[in-house]
Structure 1
Amino acid sequence: MTRFDLPVEELHRFGPDVAEPDDFDRFWAQTIAEARDAGGRVTVTDVDVPLRAVEARELTFPGFAGDPVRAWYLRPAGVATDLPAVVEFLGYGGGRGMPQQRLTWAAAGFAHIVMDTRGQAAADTADPHGSDPSVPGFLTRGIGEPATYYYRRVFTDGVRCVDAVRGLEGIDRSAVAVAGGSQGGGIALAVAGLRHDLVAAIVDYPFLCHFRRAVGMTGREPYQEVARYLAIHRDRTDAVFRTLSYFDGVNFAARATAPALFSVGLQDPVCPPSTVFAAYNAYAASVKEMVTFEFNEHEGGGAGHWPRQAGFLEEQLASAARADRKRDIPVLAAPGQ
């Protein structure tokens, strides 16, 4: 595919005016508080898989409305110390798969939590909440109102997953990172904007960013779901984009504080580079990096990018450890005091 978006030098300066509702923070504070108040049990059970170097467990935690959400909890075998954790969110239509498909982070010495995405085709977690009529897919489910929108539940699940992980035995609660690509990158970005206790965020070619531009720019799925919906419901354009403004990754990015590593393929027709850069340029943390892949589409950097992700996370863990040591140094009184 030929490049169709802005030149890279313009991408780095791209700072669009993205709609942000006045009650954005109140909406999300209330949503998360209600989910926490709903209660529910966190359970961890062993999984019978023939892995020797990695321990596999199933984590079930209460997500939106206390609904049970499933995840894998993987860690290097025989390691009793508290480990830094990577909470991974998944791409559109996918699910957590099988433990043997998710070994990389645990093999590198991290605890790895892989959250299911409720209701999606390959998931093991149901979405028990109905919605108004929508076109096939997930992007228009409940889109009539922010309170009923599908991604309100998914983003809340992401926040509650980190809540659960921080309470697990064997986790260093000061060293929890979030990660994901495409839809998973959008979820990671939302979680990074909704909490300020993360050591890092790894955000690859995120979906769910700058909806107004994406829906009008690309004819590819899943953004095309919104275009098809509005082609039928011609009088709902303003209401639809008002709902989407509560879920736009650009608005979450503006509230994020965790150091972040972004990436994007400059020929990506699914999540156009300018929508990714809109979130990156708005990202509020003082430490952030963008990696671009000039000739790649939605696959981004693929497996070849993982060593850079692991290196970035190690850098942030080391930086956090140095900051902790500095805080622990006693302040000595000046001579004569």
Structure 2
Amino acid sequence: MNSATSYADTETPLRSHHGQFRPEDFDSFWLDTLAEADRHPLDLRLEPVESPLRTIDVFDLTFAGFGGEPVKGWLRLPRARGAKLQAIVEYVGYGSGRGHHIDNLLWSSAGYAHLTMDTRGQGSSHSIGHTPDPHGSGPSVPGFATRGIAGPGEYYYRRVITDAVRAVAAVRTLECVDASRVAPFGASQGGGIALAVAGLVEGLSAVVAKVPCLSNFPLGISLAESGPYTEIAAWLRIHAEEEAEALHTLSYFDAVNFVERATAPALFSAALKDMVCPAPTVYSAHDAYAGEKSLNLWKYSGHEGGGVGEDHQVLGFLEAKMATSSDRSSG
């Protein structure tokens, strides 16, 4: 039976940061980026969705993300609700979009307000998306990981991570949500985005990063056999003379650098047979995480992680940490 193993009880090879570094202006870069975004009103819009669902209300949500550009999402709420709800903001995996409104019902069924953020420009590989990315880039490998890689100001994930921070701000404005009890959540690309949000947003209740990507880019480029890290390796094969500049750009978007400032309790997972987001890249983010943290290691899994069993563990983690988050923030 595939099972999770405590990180503390498991030997963890290749835990070296393998060339990962933090630029001196990392904090000012993100302060300026988010200040620029804040000049745009959130312009939050909710449209009820006609649905055959009987226990969940769904809203087509739109908010202003990077550059004031509209970003879509699904907001799912338990139909029976009294007190203000704890909220999960979910970021989806690479190539995916927000999907259909009847997808992904676990978290709202468990009683949470659940916002699934669309990822700009994606949403045609695994699930449908509805948010364009109206920005061009220089030469890039097919995919998203090398778009704008020549400089941090133009890099694709600058826009996506800004959208993700704004998604938390949007859900916190909802009357039905307890703004002090919000948790970012994601797997793969979504897990890396959740870790970035954990380092940029104050007052979060918990963070869940399942087999996260966007962590220790240099190590991921050297170890991964499929997925977005391999796109970067392919780009570097053609643009070898630009390696230093590309790695400098990526350092502004590396989860390892965000989580040094993160304080919310975090649950990580990694899988030893994961060739998309190899386990050693996850160890790097886990080791650097400044707050309370735990890591479940799936010994026999690939990028799927722990599947339904892992979801069950996440539900328990969120129930414990979200329930006590107000006490922590007031203590």
TM range (shorter): over 0.9
Change (3 A) 1:108 1:40: closer
| Aligned position for 2:262 | 256
Higher mean C-alpha deviation, range 182-191 or range 118-127: 118-127
Summarize the alignment of residues 316-327 of structure 1 with structure 2, pairs less than 5 Å apart.
316-323=321-328
Task: Judge conservation of contact 1:194–1:252 (CA < 8 Å) in 2.
Answer: yes
1:268 has 2:274 as partner: yes
AA matched with 2:118: D
Matched, 1:312 2:300: no
Q: Secondary structure at the match of 1:145?
A: coil
Amino acid at match of 2:300: F
- Once the 2 structures are TM-superposed, how far is the Cα of residue 85 of structure 1 from its aligned partner? 0.1
Q: 149-158 or 31-40: which moved more?
A: 31-40
Q: Which residue of 2 aligns with 1:36?
A: 38
Q: Give a deviation string over 1:278-308, Cα, whole Å, max 9, x none.
A: 00011000x2111111000100011221111
Q: State the 1:263 CA deviation.
A: 0.7
Paired position in structure 1 for 2:105: 103
Q: Distance in 1 between matches of 2:187 and 2:47?
A: 27
5 Å matches for 1:225-244? 225-244=231-250
Deviation at 1:13, TM superposition (A): 6.1
Within a 5 Å distance, the mapping from 1:1-337 to structure 2 comes to 8-11=10-13, 14=16, 18-120=20-122, 121=124, 122-285=128-291, 287-323=292-328
16-25 vs 116-125, which deviates more?
Answer: 16-25
How many Å separate the matches in 2 of 1:193 and 1:62? Answer: 21
Cα distance between partner residues in 1 of 2:18 and 2:181: 33
Q: CA shift at 1:322, angstroms?
A: 4.0
Identity of aligned residues (%): 48
Residue of structure 2 equivalent to 1:330 = none
SS in 1 for 2:261: coil
Return the offset for 1:126.
0.5
Q: CA deviation at 1:244?
A: 0.3
Q: Which amino acid aligns with 1:93?
A: G
Higher relative contact order (CA 8 A, sep 6+): 2
TM-score (ref. length: structure 2): 0.93
CA contact (8 A) 2:269 2:297 kept: yes
Contact 1:152 1:247 in 2 (8 A): yes
Q: Which amino acid aligns with 1:69?
A: V
TM-score (norm 1): 0.91
- Mean Cα displacement is larger for which, 141-150 or 250-259? 250-259
Give the letter aligned to residue 119 of structure 1: G
Pairwise CA distance, 1:251: 0.5
Give unpaired runs (5+ residues) of structure 1: 1-6, 328-337
Quick one: which amino acid aligns to residue 67 of structure 1? E
**Unpaired stretches in structure 2, ≥5 consecutive residues:** 1-8
Q: Find the aligned partners of 1:46 and 1:193 in 2 and give their Cα distance.
A: 32
- State the Cα deviation string for residues 123-161 of structure 1 (Å, max 9, x = none): 110001111111100000011000000000000000000
- Counterpart CA distance in 1 for 2:229 and 2:216 is 11
Kindly state the Cα deviation for residue 320 of structure 1 after the two structures are TM-superposed: 2.2
Give the whole-Å Cα distance in 1 for the aligned partners of 2:56 and 2:249: 42
In structure 1, C-alpha distance between the alignment counterparts of 2:219 and 2:210, rounded to whole Å: 19
Shift of 1:53: 0.3
Deviation string, structure 1 residues 303-334 (Cα, Å, up to 9, x no partner) = 2211111111111123224446x75xxxxxxx
Shift of the alpha carbon at 1:17? 5.7
Residues 214-263 of structure 1 show CA distances to partners (whole Å, capped at 9, x for unaligned) of 11122322211111111111211000000000001110111111100011
